Amino acid sequence: MKNNVNISRRSFLQKAGKTSGFVVLAGGAVQLSSFNAWAAKKSAIDNHVAKTMLLVGKDMFPGKRFTDDLYMIAVDSLDGKALKDESVKSALVKGVAEFDKAAGGKYTEASIKKRMNVLKSMEGNNFFNTMRGEMVNVFFNNKRVWDVAGWEGAAYDKGGYYLRGFQDADWPQPSEEASPKGWWE
């Protein structure tokens, strides 16, 4: 897949379409299908920058239940900011170049061990902070992510949890003295 990196998004998509939509890069971690929605939109950043961002976000907060489509939430969000602000775009491009340099080639093609070392060495770096900030503030504030991780969001409009499983965890029921019955019981 190495020669995909510098090709246009259109041909990138065409190639991606020829696969089963599930391609593992040399670095081992990005699903090309995740790019479809993103690539169909107007974008400020190229594939390489986007792919690297996706993998950085994923390496920062890897989760078995988080698909690449979800990680694209952070990429999409930053891409949107880059479209409106040239300085954001250039910072992203610069940051990815720094990560590539630290990886001794391309971050997306480095081993997981190498990538974790790159992240460690980049703590506090601008691009690092941008990516971490976007993951914390945007990715983890997204309802699609909540649904996967099991946080149920707003409760008042559903009447709270007093009749919806606030005591359903599979642990022994405490004594009544420690945990009295509810007002509705």
Interface positions with other proteins (CB under 8 A): 60-66, 116, 119, 123-124, 128-129, 132, 135-137, 139-141, 145-146, 148-157, 159-162, 164-174, 177-183, 185
Give one DSSP letter per residue of 45-107, joined into a string. S-HHHHHHHHHHHHHHS--TT--HHHHHHHHHHHHHHHHH-HHHHHHHHHHHHHHHHHTTS-G
Minimum separation from the CB atom of position 87 to other proteins (A)? 22
d(CA 65, CA 70): 10
Smaller CB separation from other proteins, 20 or 177: 177
Minimum separation from the CB atom of position 56 to other proteins (A)? 10
Smaller CB separation from other proteins, 20 or 175: 175
d(CA 27, CA 163): 47
Minimum separation from the CB atom of position 53 to other proteins (A)? 14
Smaller CB separation from other proteins, 18 or 153: 153
CA 149, distance to chain mean position in Å, is 13
Smaller CB separation from other proteins, 10 or 181: 181
Minimum separation from the CB atom of position 63 to other proteins (A)? 3
For 166, phi then psi, to 5°, come to -80, -10
Minimum separation from the CB atom of position 128 to other proteins (A)? 7
3-state secondary structure of 35: helix
Smaller CB separation from other proteins, 37 or 136: 136
Minimum separation from the CB atom of position 144 to other proteins (A)? 12
Instruction: Provide the token pair at 162.
Output: 């007093």
d(CA 96, CA 62): 19
Smaller CB separation from other proteins, 1 or 131: 131
d(CA 141, CA 166): 23
